[in-house]
Amino acid sequence: LGVRSIGVEGDVSDPAHVQALFDRAVAELGSVDILANVAGGVLRPAERGRADTMDLDDYRFIMDINLTGTILCSQAAVAVMKKKRWGRIVSLSSQAGVKGGTFAVHYAIAKAGVAHFTRCLAAEVGPHGITVNCLAPAFVNTSRALAQFPERRKLAAEIPLRRLGEPEDVAKAVEFFVTDLGDYVTGQCLAVCGGVVLSPT
């Protein structure tokens, strides 16, 4: 695409890895203007995620990759952004974090935490010219999600827009938040879900 990029492998739940990532980004690219917290997922068996019998190791892992990573990366980004008094942070929450249910409760708790952390951080860093928002997608048509949950293909008929979301649908919402289109929007959690948020269950 004609832009310069670097790849850094690491663990977003490890403070040392996160700091090394941001140190390298600043050293090689000059600054950090935009942070998109997109690491995470339901990467443990969902059936072990019931509220009354939740596996503790699964819970800690899911919280780390979805919530702790978001917090650590956001803190590292803010430290850089404050120096130039400008920055944009967008994180991925989920409809699972908005609506109650029995599916992968550890994941739902983590994503609810992402949304609340977003609001708290936005209040703190707004005076520094930094906006912080998050997205709450529902059923997005990704290869990993379809491999893990093949039944997802059948859900389109239950979504008001009658289709699964595409990665581009989420990307467009991220673009809104990180460009001048979203300059006066902060502390928000936007449902990018085709209307799933309208469902009572």
Collapse the DSSP code of 167 into the 3-class scheme (helix H, G, I; strand E, B; otherwise coil) and give the result: helix
End-to-end Cα separation, the chain, in angstroms? 42
Active site (annotated) includes residue 184: no
Euclidean distance between CA atoms 158 and 163, whole angstroms: 9
DSSP letters spanning 106-141: HHHHHHHHHHHHHHHHHHHHGGGTEEEEEEEE-SB-
Catalytic hit among 22, 59, 107, 177: 107
Euclidean distance between CA atoms 74 and 78, whole angstroms: 6
As annotated, the active-site residues are 107
